[in-house]
Amino acid sequence: MWQEDRHRRIRSIVATLHSVTTDRIVDELGVSRETVRRDLIELEAQGALRRTHGGVVSLAPASASARGRGGAGRHERLIARAAAARVQAGQTVFIDAGEMALYLADALAAIEDLFVVTNAFTVALRLRAAAREGSARGPRVLVLGGDLSPHAEATQGDHTVAQIHRFRADAALLCPVGLDARHGASHDDLGAAEVARAMAGNARQVLLMADDTRLGAAARVSYWPAERIAAVFTNRRAQGQEGYDALAAAVGEIVIA
């Protein structure tokens, strides 16, 4: 079965059931668990679903309302708030594309005179909406130009990376698909990984936001070594993940939100 067909089937299954186990997807598609794992990582990067322990959940409007009621999304909000607490008024920060970045945008909206450089349209629009409701001295946002990503509402490519190199940021707040001690931060999409690598390389410190489903995982493209990560913000379940202790020993700090 071609990847496009698998992705279409997975989207259909998740849209119908809203919450589904990995085992069921494997059975439905008749492919290996590793193939399904790669597909789910890529679909999550596209914003089509969210991985959980043993399966995935839908990000359709019904699920969004559930997040608003304190269900799915609670960990992401707490992680984002913990990361935002490290950002100070007047600083410059990079933010890449990812579901966690939307929660981060909400958490950063009240910080005065913040300068945000991002390749994610969704982050820029979220910050603009929040700024309209709050202080006139809220974050200023610069959206990086470049090629449109085929997997996310964001830019990437050589032009995007060249623009990143023009800035020196106080922090790069990044959303890796995978994070472990051996491979560091990683992403399944090469273009997204190159954007994240450039942001990390032009920032005074690298701060990563990753829930327990991402810790211990290694995606296709490594872009930043664990020993050069200042802090990882995650949820309590991460402490039970395989590879957590090795990661904790490699990075500067792990913050449990």
CATH number of domain containing 13 = 1.10.10.10
Same domain, 121 and 240: yes
Q: Are residues 33 and 154 in the same domain?
A: no
Identify whether 186 is part of a domain.
Answer: yes
Residue type, 42: E
Domain annotation covers residue 121:
yes
Pair 156, 194 in one domain: yes
- Residue 48 shares a structural domain with residue 85: no
Specify if 241 maps to a domain.
yes
pLDDT tens-digit map of 67-113: 443 445 788 899 999 999 999 999 999 999 987 898 999 999 889 89
Residues 151 and 85 in one domain: yes
Let me know whether 48 and 98 are in one domain. no
65 is a domain residue: no
- Percent of the chain with pLDDT strictly greater than 70: 91
Residue ranges of E strands in 39-135 = 49-52, 55-58, 92-95, 115-118
Please give the Cα distance from 154 to 96 (Å, whole number).
8
Q: Is residue 140 part of a domain?
A: yes
Instruction: Give the pLDDT score at 132.
Output: 59
Whole-number pLDDT of residue 16: 67
The residue from 58, 83, 103 where one domain ends is 58
Residue 63 located in a structural domain: no
Q: Is residue 96 part of a domain?
A: yes
Query: Which residue type sits at 181?
Result: A
Q: Which tokens go with 2?
A: 């071609």
135: confidence class by pLDDT, cuts 50, 70, 90: low
Q: Does pLDDT of 229 surpass 60?
A: yes
Would you say residue 224 has pLDDT above 90? yes
What is the mean pLDDT of the segment spanning 112-129?
92
Q: How many domains does the chain have?
A: 2
In a domain, 64, yes or no: no
CATH for 92:
3.40.50.1360
Considering the domain architecture, whether residues 9 and 117 belong to the same structural domain is answered as: no
Residue 113 and residue 230 share a domain: yes
Mean pLDDT across the chain? 88
- pLDDT tens figures, 149-187: 887 889 999 999 999 999 999 999 999 989 999 999 999
What are the φ/ψ torsions at residue 114 (nearest 5 degrees)? -80, 140
What is the distance in angstroms between the CA of the first residue and the CA of the last residue of the chain? 40
- Do residue 38 and residue 83 come from a single domain? no
Domain span at residue 43?
3-58
The answer to whether residues 43 and 91 belong to one domain is: no
Q: Are residues 50 and 150 in the same domain?
A: no
What is the Cα gyration radius of the chain? 18
Do 130 and 31 sit in the same domain of this protein? Answer: no
Summarize the confidence of residues 221-241 as an average pLDDT.
Answer: 96
Residues paired with residue 143 on neighbouring β-strands, in sequence order? 118
Residue after which a domain boundary falls, among 58, 85, 104: 58
